[in-house]
Homo-oligomer: A and B are copies of this chain.
């Protein structure tokens, strides 16, 4: 790759990383419309073991409901890995710690991973697909969350 292309790719990484951060900020501010705006119109999103949520309209509705369950949340991303499969398309993974407090004061914490597909639009990089997988959860039954696929490796 030319230096010019390498620079452009660093800028693309920077932009995707910033949009990832915005997603968490809108979640923690309980702004589901703005959170949904980081996705493309015909996105696919999976938060649970159930079906994919298809389209930004359905996603917005799902986010309104999901965020309204909580008095407070705090999402913390790390371990971001972005792989470009063309100038306008990338896959990405990131780890997330998401702390939640319900209105009754009960709390749970997710230790998870987002598995993403990103696409460049006229408005910048947007999420085309996001799948949440759970490494585990504290304060909630994590057998009901999609697993990250850890190899079973207990010594025998």
Contacts and interface: CB of A to CB of B under 8 A. Distances in A.
B7 A79 contact: no
A117 to B, nearest CB: 18
Main SS at interface, chain A: mixed
Given A14-B13, A21-B79, A28-B148, A135 B7 contact: no
A121 to B, nearest CB: 20
B136 A30 contact: no
Interface of A: 3-4, 6-7, 10-11, 13-14, 18, 20-22, 24-25, 28-32, 64-65, 67-68, 71-81, 93, 95, 97, 99, 101, 103, 107, 111-113, 135-136, 138, 142, 148-155
A76 B30 CA distance: 23
Number of copies: 3
Contacts of A155: 64-65, 68
Contact of A135 (B14, B21, B74, B151): B74
